[in-house]
């Protein structure tokens, strides 16, 4: 029961509720018994299909009934149908599950059923793929509505990646970048959108559509805005870590350290500034200490240690983590 | 009911779990039939951890589990006449192991024809023949095969390679390739790798840090950055942290207080957060988390299998996890 408030009911109130629910319960039990009995007999009729609709509208988590519904379509309704009627049936199911998702946005089985519907849309009309294109294109609009309602719904983000990767007419990936920009500008704290951005960039770099170095410089500007807007928000700092990665580029590493030190002057108690400085200075030591020698390495190490001691005071719940890192550094 | 709760109401929680089967005139009871097998596993494990395994009748439970066997598909459904699914099959095996009744199933058949047949060419597992994939199902498969003693039938490298492909730069794992890190998926991926002796695939320090950052000022843990706390993450994060030996990286006193504050001190049971409706899922994961934190009087929980530790040890399956020492008071 996620997020449902507890109410204290008297035994009388519970008995009254159960009394009120009696007819509902009786209807539900006779309906589900009927559906399960039909399923056992491999009844692939339209009547049974309509009964599954009724069960699933009451209880969209009843996975066995979703399975039965798909079997009715595959072994019953589709067998005698023209491609056009199959397309109509699947489009209807997509509409039915859109309604269901609005009420139950986190039910795995509903999202799963949509994938099956999409994957079974036939070719046509005629030699074209217009049915497929129309259904898949509509999915992006649906998933955007779902993400407008809850911008962190991971089911919706996963589904979005699935649609983008499988739709018959692929959208340019730059369009997805623009989408994540919109989501991030609406709320800097939307880590799901930052995550998606990291995946889109990786793909754009791998395919050679964008220059990695140039994108990273642009992104560092964007993420800096977010860091200045709310220095306590984890999302931007995590994305920043992704941009820096293993810290092979000494110039970027040093200029970002300088930028964070400037922010720290404005926000002297910012845990995330200090924690990030420790991380990046450790990367500097790890990757580049051979270039600047022992004296500077020692200086960086002692800066890290004093930051870690400061973090133990600023962020007591994670005190032992900072101490463990101090111990690791002392051992090197 | 507020944050001032200082003790675990074991008797109330035992009574609450026992009462769950008495609600057959309640609509909610029937609306959750698709979760029955999992719910029994959650209830049984919570009872074992509180030292009250006997509160539910063993024979009745084993009979129920066996009545959910789906001979056509092979595997267990969540309820009699429900389709077989890997989620229910895993819970069924865990229940049978806990009751030392694994001889009731044809282990080789379940392992080869049911579980291994669900592995996809990419290495991930599907939940059933309809093909939904998720790293949760990879964990279910690895956990079940291990309990059945059939792990040697698994293509380990193929299984690990999919989990590896789900790893993100924050050290965590998502439910499929490309997905955002989520504490629940971190648990299933890390625990599966632990069973397969492949923790070398995990960046211990980075993931330990990400997990430690799940703790919020009120002591509770969230499952992703900038989300609300929830009692169930107390287990999912803590499981991975105990496998990586990083439990000391958060404030266990504050987390214990948070879990206790989500109890229903009158009716028993634990909710997702203080003041919400209780359910057996959060009751189980709350108590499991408390056990790993060394809460006094509880039985040790194995964080890899999420079952009583002495059972896993007796089977010779214990991995190198570390819980916090059991407190005296």
**What are the sequence ranges of the domains in chain B?**
10-314
pLDDT of residue A19: 86
**B228 Rama class: left (phi>0) / alpha (psi -120 to 50) / beta:** beta
Domain extent at residue A283: 245-332
Out of B128, B224, B226, whose CB is closest to A233? B226
B302 contact A CB<8A? no
CB spacing of A32 vs B128 below 8 angstroms: no
Which B-chain residues 119-178 have CB contacts (< 8 A) with chain A? 128, 130, 132, 168-170, 175-176, 178
What's the rounded mean pLDDT across residues A301-316?
97
pLDDT of residue A127: 94
Identify the segments of chain B with pLDDT beneath 50: 1-3
Helix %, strand %, coil % of chain B (to 5):
50, 5, 40
Place of tokens 């509180």: B50
**Contact residues on chain A for B1, CB-CB shorter than 8 A:** 6
Coil, helix or strand at residue B272: coil
Q: How many CB pairs under 8 A join A and B?
A: 134
Asked whether the predicted pLDDT for residue A66 surpasses 80, the reply is yes
pLDDT in tens, A184-203: 999 999 999 999 999 999 99
Q: In chain B, where does DSSP find H-type helix?
A: 10-19, 27-31, 36-49, 58-67, 86-98, 107-109, 135-148, 156-165, 183-195, 204-212, 232-243, 252-261, 280-292, 309-314
Q: With respect to residue A287, please indicate whether it lies within any of the assigned structural domains.
A: yes
Q: How far is B277 from chain A (nearest CA, A)?
A: 4
What's the rounded mean pLDDT across residues A298-310?
97
Asked whether the predicted pLDDT for residue A16 surpasses 90, the reply is no
Structural domains in chain A (count): 1
Q: Find out whether B251 and B219 touch, Cβ atoms under 8 Å.
A: yes
Asked whether the predicted pLDDT for residue A253 surpasses 80, the reply is yes
Distance CA B313, CA B289 (A): 19
DSSP class of residue A77 equals: I
Concatenating the DSSP letter of every residue in A241-309 gives: HHHHTT---HHHHHHHHHHHHHHHHHSTT-HHHHHHHHHHHHHHHHHHHHHHHHHHHHHHHHHHHHHHH
- Topology (CATH) of B10-314: Glycosyltransferase (1.50.10)
Mean residue pLDDT of chain B comes to: 96
CA distances from B153 to A143, A215, B53, B96, B163 (A): 40, 46, 32, 21, 18
pLDDT tier, A233 (very low <50, low <70, confident <90, very high otherwise): very high
Q: With respect to residue A254, please indicate whether it lies within any of the assigned structural domains.
A: yes
What would you report as the CA-atom Rg of chain A, rounded to the nearest whole angstrom?
28
Q: How far is B17 from chain A (nearest CA, A)?
A: 15
Asked whether the predicted pLDDT for residue A217 surpasses 70, the reply is yes
ipTM: 0.96
The residue among A3, A5, A6 with the most chain B CBs within 10 A of its CB, best to mutate, is A6
pLDDT of residue B3: 45
CATH number of residue A268's parent domain? 1.25.40
Place of tokens 């108690």: A269
Q: Evaluate the omega torsion of the peptide bond into residue A105 and state whether it is cis, within 30 degrees of 0.
A: no
Residue of B nearest to A242 (CA): B169
Nearest partner of B231 among B200, B276, B191, judged by Cα: B276
More confident residue, A19 or B163: B163
CA distances from A310 to A40, A283, A323, A331, B249 (A): 67, 20, 11, 20, 16
pLDDT of residue B23: 82
Distance CA B278, CA B231 (A): 11
Which B-chain residues 79-108 have CB contacts (< 8 A) with chain A? 81-83, 85
CB spacing of B26 vs A233 below 8 angstroms: no
What's the rounded mean pLDDT across residues A130-152?
96
Mean residue pLDDT of chain A comes to: 95
A11 burial via Cβ count (<10 Å: 0-12, 13-18, 19+): exposed
CB spacing of A318 vs B250 below 8 angstroms: yes
Return the ∠ at Cα A138 (arms to A137 and A142), rounded to 5°: 125
Residue of B nearest to A24 (CA): B27
Q: Find out whether B303 and B44 touch, Cβ atoms under 8 Å.
A: no
Q: With respect to residue A294, please indicate whether it lies within any of the assigned structural domains.
A: yes
CB spacing of A321 vs B168 below 8 angstroms: no
pLDDT of residue B4: 56
What would you report as the CA-atom Rg of chain B, rounded to the nearest whole angstrom?
19
Q: Find out whether B325 and B270 touch, Cβ atoms under 8 Å.
A: no
pLDDT in tens, B54-66: 999 999 999 999 9
Return the ∠ at Cα A122 (arms to A120 and A123), rounded to 5°: 140
Coil, helix or strand at residue B308: strand
CB spacing of A6 vs B277 below 8 angstroms: yes
Residue B155 backbone phi and psi in degrees, to 5: -80, 95
Nearest partner of A197 among A238, A234, A246, judged by Cα: A238
Residue of A nearest to B273 (CA): A3
Nearest partner of B86 among B95, B76, B96, judged by Cα: B76
Beta bridge partners of A5: B276
pLDDT of residue A18: 84
pLDDT tier, A4 (very low <50, low <70, confident <90, very high otherwise): confident
pLDDT of residue B2: 41
CB spacing of B179 vs A189 below 8 angstroms: no
Q: With respect to residue A81, please indicate whether it lies within any of the assigned structural domains.
A: no
Query: How crowded is residue A171: how many other Cβ atoms within 10 Å of its Cβ?
Result: 13
pLDDT tier, A1 (very low <50, low <70, confident <90, very high otherwise): low
What's the rounded mean pLDDT across residues A83-99?
96
Asked whether the predicted pLDDT for residue A79 surpasses 50, the reply is yes
Nearest partner of A154 among B22, B136, B14, judged by Cα: B136
Percentage of residues in chain A with pLDDT exceeding 90? 90
Q: Find out whether B246 and B208 touch, Cβ atoms under 8 Å.
A: yes
Out of B32, B182, B225, whose CB is closest to A235? B225
């Amino acid at each position: 029961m996620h997020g449902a408030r507890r109410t204290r009911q008297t035994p009388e109130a519970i008995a009254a509720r159960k009394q009120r629910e009696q007819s509902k319960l009786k209807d539900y039990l006779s309906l589900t018994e009927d559906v399960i009995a039909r399923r056992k007999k491999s009844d692939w009729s339209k009547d049974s299909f309509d009964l599954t609709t009724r069960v699933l509208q009451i209880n969209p988590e009843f996975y066995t009934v979703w399975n039965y519904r798909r079997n009715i379509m595959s072994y019953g309704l589709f067998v005698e149908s023209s491609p056009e009627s199959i397309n109509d049936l699947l489009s209807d199911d997509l509409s039915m599950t859109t309604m269901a998702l609005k009420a139950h946005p986190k039910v795995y089985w509903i999202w799963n059923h949509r994938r099956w519907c999409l994957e079974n849309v036939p070719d046509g009309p005629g030699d074209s793929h217009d049915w497929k294109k129309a259904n898949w294109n509509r999915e992006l609009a649906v998933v955007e509505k779902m993400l407008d309602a809850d911008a962190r719904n991971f089911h919706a983000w996963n589904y979005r990646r699935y649609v983008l990767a499988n739709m018959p007419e692929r959208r340019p990936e730059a369009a997805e970048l623009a989408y994540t920009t919109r989501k991030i500008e609406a709320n800097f704290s939307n880590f799901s959108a930052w995550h998606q951005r990291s995946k889109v960039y990786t793909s754009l770099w791998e395919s050679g559509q964008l220059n990695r170095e140039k994108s990273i410089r642009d992104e560092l500007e964007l993420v800096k805005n977010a860091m200045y807007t709310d220095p306590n928000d984890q999302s931007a700092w995590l994305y920043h870590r992704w941009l820096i990665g293993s810290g092979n580029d000494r110039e970027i590493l040093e200029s970002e350290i300088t930028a964070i030190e400037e922010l720290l002057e404005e926000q002297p108690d910012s845990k995330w500034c200090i924690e990030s400085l420790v991380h990046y200075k450790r990367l500097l030591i790890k990757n580049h200490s051979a270039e600047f020698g022992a004296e500077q390495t020692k200086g960086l190490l002692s800066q890290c240690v004093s930051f870690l001691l400061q973090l133990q005071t600023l962020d007591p719940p994670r005190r032992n983590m900072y101490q463990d890192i101090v111990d690791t550094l002392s051992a090197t | 009911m507020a944050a001032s709760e200082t003790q675990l109401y074991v008797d109330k929680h035992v009574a609450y779990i026992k009462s769950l089967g008495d609600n057959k005139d309640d609509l909610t009871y029937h609306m959750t039939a698709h979760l029955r097998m999992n719910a029994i596993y959650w209830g049984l494990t919570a009872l074992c951890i509180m030292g009250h395994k006997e509160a539910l009748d063993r024979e009745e439970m084993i009979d129920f589990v066996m009545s959910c066997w789906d001979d056509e598909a092979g595997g267990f459904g969540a309820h009699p006449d429900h389709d077989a699914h890997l989620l229910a099959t895993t819970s069924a095996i865990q229940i049978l192991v806990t009751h030392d009744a694994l001889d009731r199933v044809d282990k080789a058949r379940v392992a080869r024809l049911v579980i291994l047949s669900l592995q996809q060419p990419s290495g991930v597992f599907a939940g059933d023949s309809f093909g939904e994939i998720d790293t949760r199902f990879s964990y279910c498969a690895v956990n079940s095969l291990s309990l059945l003693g059939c792990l040697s039938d698994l293509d380990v490298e193929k299984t690990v390679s999919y989990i590896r492909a789900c790893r993100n730069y924050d050290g965590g794992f998502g439910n499929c390739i490309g997905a955002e890190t989520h504490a629940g998926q971190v648990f299933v991926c890390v625990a599966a790798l632990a069973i397969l002796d492949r923790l070398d695939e995990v960046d211990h320090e980075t993931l330990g840090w990400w997990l430690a950052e799940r703790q919020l000022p009120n002591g509770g843990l969230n499952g992703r950055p900038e989300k609300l706390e929830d009692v169930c993450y107390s287990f999912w994060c803590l499981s991975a942290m105990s496998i990586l030996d990083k439990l000391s990286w958060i404030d266990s006193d504050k987390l214990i207080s948070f879990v206790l504050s989500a109890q229903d001190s009158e009716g028993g049971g634990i909710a997702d957060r203080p003041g919400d409706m209780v359910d057996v899922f959060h009751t189980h994961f709350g108590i499991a988390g408390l056990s790993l934190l060394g809460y006094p009087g509880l039985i040790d929980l194995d964080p890899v299998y999420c079952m009583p530790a002495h059972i896993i040890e007796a089977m010779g399956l214990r991995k190198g996890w570390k819980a916090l020492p059991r407190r005296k008071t």
